[in-house]
Copies of this chain bind each other. A is one copy, B any other.
Amino acid sequence: MEKQNNLSKNQQIIFDLIDKSSEPMKAYSILFNVQKKGIKAPLQVYRALDKLVKIGKIHKIESRNAFIACQNSSCQISKATAFSICESCEKVSEISNSKLSKYLSNFVDEAGMKYNKYNLEFFGLCKKCKST
């Protein structure tokens, strides 16, 4: 177990749930799962999610409106994220590829603009789904 800095009660409960999950979790599914722990309202969930995203403990999968725990131990802030999404089974993994992240972090567009943040989602069929 790595040290879990400074998370508040609700943040910790919600992070633990997402971290244990094998798939991205949606906000209301999280809510349902933490009601026994006393978190009763959507806003309590969204507030914790916002904070966890901000500090990089979780990422939002934008195309799915769902959240996964950061799988990259060195990731502190969600500034440069890339995900692999299986269009069949909906399995999502975080991609940690230093060549890719270097390439994208250094990308300069036609107008000479540099970016301080990006999010990339790849779609395809995972190994398992491809073979069936």
Contact = CB atoms under 8 A, between A and B. Distances in A.
Contact of A124 (B87, B114, B120, B121): B114
Interface in A64-107: 84, 87, 95, 97, 100, 103-104, 107
A59 to B, nearest CB: 12
Contacts of A84: 109, 113, 115
A98 to B, nearest CB: 11
B116 A123 contact: yes
State the copy count for this chain: 2
Given A119-B121, A119-B123, 11 more contacts: A84-B115, A87-B117, A100-B107, A113-B124, A113-B126, A115-B123, A115-B124, A117-B122, A118-B121, A119-B120, A120-B120
Contacts of A117: 87, 122-124
A127 interface: yes
Nearest to A118: B122
Given A107-B100, A109-B95, A109-B97, A124 B116 contact: yes
A113 B82 CA distance: 14
A126 B118 CA distance: 14
Contact of A63 (B115, B116, B119, B127): B119
